[in-house]
Amino acid sequence: MNDKAPIHTPVMVQEVLTYLSPSKGDKYLDLTAGYGGHASAVADVAGKLEQMTLVDRDSSAVAALTERFGAVEILHDDFAAASEKLASAGRSYDMILADLGASSLHLDEAGRGFSFTRSGPLDMRMDPRQELTAAHLLNHSDEQELGRILRQYGEEQRARVIAKAIIAARPLTSTDQLAQIIENTVPKRFGRKRIHPATKTFQALRIAVNDELNQLSRSLPLWGGLLAPGGRLVVISFHSLEDRIVKQYFKENAGDRYDAELTLLTKKPITAGPDEIVSNPRARSAKLRAAAKIKTKTKG
């Protein structure tokens, strides 16, 4: 493993280690391996893993993982497709981690188009091989569809007004053009808000372009199935829409019911401590939930 300085600071590393509880000979599946911060911490604690499978849909992340980890199994795929393939190959793991969302690199690189604070193309694809971009959605969706995306994925109360302004300003090409259009929809009398008025729209577009919520809903049951008896699943989400899906899945599949396949390791979501939030502001919205696969099932 080549230990270069990390370019993305992983969140809640200690908490991830507590709930994954790595030990020698474990098999580890990291579904959002990114730049390998969590994966290297897990490998260090375990000493020797029997198997490490790293998944990411982003080609820059995959290149960085290949350089950092060398000969481990690295899958350049979205985690729903990768999980389906691993499940049909009959694979199972003692530890599964999904640290959802975008990496710092996505947000920091102007050319990826994720951030309204950086001027760039309206792209927002985590996987640059994908066809659908934010520009396509913005320039080709009708007003109703755009409004639905902003309301559903951004929980934007001003979805209709913003959708109308976007349609009137087409064609849209850049992040700063979109941010300005949204800013112009806010009546001057409201003054400056604590969060930028484009925040929710950018979140909504990113979720829609990358199909993030469907990816998660499709994958959770597969992850339950990929866990070996006694195996641990940790999911870190960064907004309430994702956390709601994880919470619901755990509620339906972990607990006292005779057919429950999981047991909850976290009753409430675990959040980052104040020191971590100061040093890594991304950690502020992180919520970690964990469950373990029940070892033996007694039916009846």
The answer to whether residues 106 and 126 touch, using CB atoms and an 8 Å cutoff, is yes
- Identify the CA nearest to 240 among candidates 207, 270, 285: 285
Q: Which is nearer to ligand SAM, 102 or 181 (CB)?
A: 102
Q: Which of residues 204-223 bind ligand SAM (CB under 6 A)?
A: 215
CB of 176 to ligand SAM, least distance (A): 24
**b/e per residue 255-289 (b: at least 16 CB within 10 A):** eeeeebbbbbbbeebbbbeeebbeebebbebbbbb
Pick one of 27, 57, 206, 289: the residue that binds ligand SAM (CB under 6 A). Answer: 57
Q: Which of residues 61-90 bind ligand SAM (CB under 6 A)?
A: 61, 78-79
- Identify the CA nearest to 43 among candidates 1, 100, 15, 98: 1
Residue 98 has phi, psi (to 5 degrees) of -130, 110
**CA angle, 31 as apex, 28 and 35 as ends, to 5°?**
95
Pick one of 15, 26, 56, 156: the residue that binds ligand SAM (CB under 6 A). Answer: 56
Distance spanning both ends of the chain, measured CA to CA: 48
The reply on whether position 8 binds ligand SAM by CB under 6 A is: yes
Q: Which is nearer to ligand SAM, 13 or 172 (CB)?
A: 13
The reply on whether position 287 binds ligand SAM by CB under 6 A is: no
Q: Which is nearer to ligand SAM, 7 or 228 (CB)?
A: 7
Query: Which range, of 51-59, 197-205, 253-261, 268-276, touches ligand SAM by CB under 6 A?
Result: 51-59
Pick one of 17, 27, 54, 58: the residue that binds ligand SAM (CB under 6 A). Answer: 58
User: Partners of 72 in the beta sheet?
Assistant: none
Q: What residues line the site for ligand SAM (CB under 6 A)?
A: 8, 10, 32-38, 55-58, 61, 78-79, 99, 101, 103, 126, 215
